[in-house]
Amino acid sequence: MVVNDLGGAVDGSGSSQMAADTVVDEITGAGGEAVASYDSVSTPEGGQAIVDRALEEYGTVDVVISNAGILRDRSLPNLTQEELSSVLDVHLRGGFHIAQPAFRVMREKVYGRFVFASSNAGIFGNFGQTNYGAAKMGLVGLSNVLAIEGAKYSVKSNVIAPLARTRMTEQLLGPMAEMLLPEQVMPMVVYLASEQCEFTHEIFTAGGGRYGRIFIGTNEGWFAGSGVVPTLEEVAERLDDIRDISSYVVPGSLNDEMMLLAKLLAG
């Protein structure tokens, strides 16, 4: 196992080898095998270096757990370009920078597992986390496309939205932090990373002993008619139908939703 951690502060500043080394010591002390990497996923070179480290030590890449993150929280009107870019660089671009070279290896061997750490704050939203939320929801899109492109190569890609006490979250979670053990997230992540997992293109939430699925679906909606351009008033009148989620589907790709429309257009 390659344990990558730049070892910076929560805001991304600085670096230290201690964080990665500590985890490596814990793994090896328990009888496992692990080596450290101190590269930053925020650059393409860093992502490639992490994959190269795995290839040098183990000859292949079977699993990627993309969990890098920093916080630069600020409300939208006050958010700076630097605060936006730095968070996108680590979370979203970081996920891409490690996924691309790893996927190339997995595609050749026709096997692989990706687990991307998103966030409930990104999927559902949270005050003061525009940059973080956008980056974390972006990882959902990245994983979904990777799941589709990896399907014929037996490469599965899923997302975990964890609720746990970490250096990044303990101040945000308040008193509840003590009940959200990071160890409780571990079984779900390990399963998604395992050969046993056949799920792909899905989002799972885990925290405090609760495990569930988060999904993005679409309802039947309202069909105005083929070639019909409804008026604003007609759309307003049918908003109950447009918003009704009593019946829905969870598309596996853009094509799945297009098929819903094609059926309507075909009458």
The residues, any chain, with a CB within 8 Å of residue 218's CB and separated by 6 or more, are 248, 249, 251, 257, 260
The residues, any chain, with a CB within 8 Å of residue 11's CB and separated by 6 or more, are 70, 71, 72
Instruction: Give the mean pLDDT of 62-71.
Output: 94
User: Residue 177's pLDDT is what?
Assistant: 66
Q: Is the pLDDT of residue 178 over 80?
A: no
Instruction: Give the mean pLDDT of 95-118.
Output: 98
What is the third-level CATH fold of 2-214?
Answer: Rossmann fold (3.40.50)
Beta-bridge partner residues of 159 = 116, 203
State pTM to two decimals. 0.92
The domain segmentation of the chain, as residue ranges, is: 2-214, 218-265
User: Residue 170's pLDDT is what?
Assistant: 58
What digits encode the pLDDT tens for the residues 242-255? 999 999 999 999 99
Residues that are catalytic: 132
Instruction: Give the mean pLDDT of 170-197.
Output: 84
pLDDT band at 171 (very low <50, low <70, confident <90, very high): low
User: How far is 182 from 246, CA to CA, in rounded Å?
Assistant: 35
Q: Are 53 and 2 contacting, i.e. CB atoms less than 8 angstroms apart?
A: yes
In total, the chain counts a number of residues equal to 267
Place of tokens 């691309």: 100
